[in-house]
Structure 1
Amino acid sequence: MLRYTIGSAFVAVFCLSSFLIDRKPAAKTARENYETYCSSCHGEKVEAFVDRQWKHGKEKSDLVKSITGGYPDLGMPAWKGVLTDKEIDEMADLILTSLKNVDQYKFANKPSSNVFTSEGMTVRLDTVASGFKSPWGLAFLPDGSMLVTDRTGDLYRVEKGNQKTKLTGGPTVLAEGQGGLLDVELHPDFAKNQLIYLSYSAVKQEGSDKLSTTAVMRAKLAGTALTDQKVIFEALPYAKTRHHYGSRLEFDKKGFLYITVGDRGSEQQNPQSLDRDAGKVHRLHDDGRIPADNPFVANKSAHPSIYSYGHRNPQGMTLNPATGAIWTHEHGPRGGDEINIVKKSANYGWPVICYGINYDGKPITNLTAKEGMEQPLTYWLPSIGPSGMAFVTSSKYPGWKNNLMVGSLRFQYLNRCVMNGDKIVSQENILKNIGRLRNVTMGPDGYLYVSVEDPGYVFRLLPVTQ
Structure 2
Amino acid sequence: MKSALCLLVSLFALPTAAWPGTVETGAGPMEITRVVGGLDEPWGLAFLPEGDLLVTGRAGRLWLARGGELHRVEGGPEVFAKGQGGLLDVMIPADFATSREVWLSFAAPVGEGAATAAGVGRLSEDGSRLEGFRTVFTGDAAPGGRHFGARLVEMPDGTIALTTGERGTGPQGMQAQDPASSLGKLILLNRDGSPAIRLEGWLPGAFSRGHRNVQGAALDLSGRLLTVEHGAQGGDELNAPEAGKNYGWPVITYGIDYSGDPIGEGQALAGMEQPLHYWDPSIAPSGLMVYSGKLVPEWRGDLFFGSLNSDFLGRLDPDTPAPTGFAEERIGAPETRRVRDVVEAPDGSIWFLSVTEGAVYRMAPVE
Q: Same fold (TM over 0.5)?
A: yes
Letter in 2 for 1:124: E
Partner of 1:282: 187
Letter in 2 for 1:361: G
Task: Supply the distance in 2 between the matched residues of 1:454 and 1:124 (Cα, whole angstroms).
Answer: 20
* Structure 1: 5+ residue stretches without partners: 1-109
Q: CA deviation at 1:401?
A: 2.1
1:335 aligns with 2:234: yes
Q: What does 1:43-442 align with in structure 2 at a 5 Å threshold? A: 113-160=20-67, 162-205=68-111, 210-222=112-124, 223=126, 224-236=128-140, 238-267=141-170, 268-291=173-196, 294-296=197-199, 298-299=200-201, 302-321=202-221, 323-420=222-319, 424-433=325-334, 434-442=336-344
Contact 2:229–2:238 (8 Å) recurs in 1: yes
Task: Supply the distance in 1 between the matched residues of 2:55 and 2:185 (Cα, whole angstroms).
Answer: 25
Cα distance change of structure 1 residues 243 and 425 upon mapping to structure 2, 3 Å threshold:
closer
Task: Supply the distance in 2 between the matched residues of 1:418 and 1:317 (Cα, whole angstroms).
Answer: 16
Aligned length: 344
Q: CA deviation at 1:440?
A: 0.6
Moved more, 443-452 or 243-252: 443-452
Letter in 1 for 2:40: K
- Residue 358 of structure 1 aligns to a residue whose secondary structure is coil
| TM-score normalised per structure 2 | 0.90
Q: Write 1 or 2 for the structure with the bigger share of helix.
A: 1
Q: CA deviation at 1:269?
A: 3.0
Cα distance change of structure 1 residues 111 and 150 upon mapping to structure 2, 3 Å threshold:
farther
Higher relative contact order (CA 8 A, sep 6+): 2
Partner of 1:74: none
Task: Supply the distance in 2 between the matched residues of 1:446 and 1:430 (Cα, whole angstroms).
Answer: 18
Q: Write 1 or 2 for the structure with the bigger share of strand.
A: 2
Q: Deviations over 1:246-269 (max 9, x none)?
A: 000001111010000000012423
Q: CA deviation at 1:422?
A: 9.6
Contact 1:390–1:442 (8 Å) recurs in 2: yes
| TM-score normalised per structure 1 | 0.71
* Structure 2: 5+ residue stretches without partners: 1-16
- Residue 94 of structure 2 aligns to a residue whose secondary structure is coil
Q: Deviations over 1:296-323 (max 9, x none)?
A: 1x43xx21110000000000000112x2
Task: Supply the distance in 1 between the matched residues of 2:138 and 2:225 (Cα, whole angstroms).
Answer: 21
Task: Supply the distance in 2 between the matched residues of 1:425 and 1:276 (Cα, whole angstroms).
Answer: 32
What CA RMSD, in Å, does the superposition of the two structures yield over aligned residues? 1.7
Contact 1:336–1:379 (8 Å) recurs in 2: yes
